[in-house]
Structure 1
Amino acid sequence: MAGALAGLVLGSIVGAVATIAGSYFLFWRRRRAALAHLRRAFETELSALSYIDEMAESGDYETLTQAVEAPVVYESNADDIGHLSGDEVEALVAFYTDLYWLDDQPDIEDKKERVHEIAEKRQRAVEVLRENE
């Protein structure tokens, strides 16, 4: 009787541990997939914003301030950005903060150096995202 009771308790414990381990594995796998999708979304948006580099390089600053588009991925996923690595968060926030600054500028002629820094920050964000894939 005691052996049957011990077997029942042991079976329950093993079953509980297996359930917890399986649930954690599924959670971890889903989280990893969600982060991969988030990184790809940011990479796609940053690639679409490559015109910033081209316009900065050609010196077309006035058109650039008028051509800046709202960063849809960044705005839609602001709550989830904290799940990325510290380097990714830093690079993305630095770029998007400057992108908002660029959008608010009526006259950019005296701030040309900062425009080139924005292009560099975009490239840095892309590099950091690709490193963490």
Structure 2
Amino acid sequence: MVETAVGFVLGAIIGAVATAVGSYLLYWKRERDATRRLRRAFAEELRTYEYVDNLIADGGYERLTERVEAPVLYESAAGDLGLLTEREIGRLVAFYSALYWLEGLEDPEDKKAQIESVARKRQAALEALG
């Protein structure tokens, strides 16, 4: 009788541990996959802003302030940024902040250095995302 009770208790403990480990592994895999998808999506959105680099290279500072497209992913996935590393978050925030700064900017010819830094920040964010 005692052996049966010990068997039930051990079975319950082993079952609980196996369930907890399995649940954690499933959670870890889902988080890892979500992080991977988020990195890939941000990299794609950053690549769509290549026209910013081209306009800067051509000296189209005035056109750039009129053509900046609002980021879609950054605005919709801001709550998921915590999945990324601090370095990735910092680089993304730096780029998108600079991008928002460009919109409707007055006297862009006087701010060439800051405008040119937007292209560098985009490249830095792309590199951080790998």
Same fold, judged at TM 0.5 (above): yes
Q: Distance in 2 between matches of 1:55 and 1:20?
A: 54
**Structure 1 residue aligned with 2:84:** 84
Cα contact 2:66–2:104 (8 A) shared by 1: no
**Structure 2 residue aligned with 1:102:** 102
Counterpart AA for 1:37: R
SS in 1 for 2:78: coil
Deviations 1:88-114 (A, max 9, x none): 000000000010001130321100001
SS in 2 for 1:79: helix
Runs of 4+ aligned structure 1 residues displaced above 4 Å come to none
Q: Distance in 1 between matches of 2:29 and 2:23?
A: 10
Q: In the alignment, does 2:68 pair up with 1:68?
A: yes
Mapping of residues 1-133 of structure 1, within 5 Å: 1-130=1-130
TM-score by length of structure 1 reads: 0.95
Q: Aligned pair count?
A: 130
TM-score by length of structure 2 reads: 0.98
CA shift for structure 1 position 57? 1.1
- In percent, how many aligned pairs have the same letter? 52
Show structure 2 runs of 5+ residues with no match.
none
Q: CA RMSD in A?
A: 0.7
Counterpart AA for 1:100: Y
Show structure 1 runs of 5+ residues with no match.
none
Counterpart AA for 1:95: F
CA shift for structure 1 position 82? 1.7
Counterpart AA for 2:47: S
SS in 2 for 1:23: helix
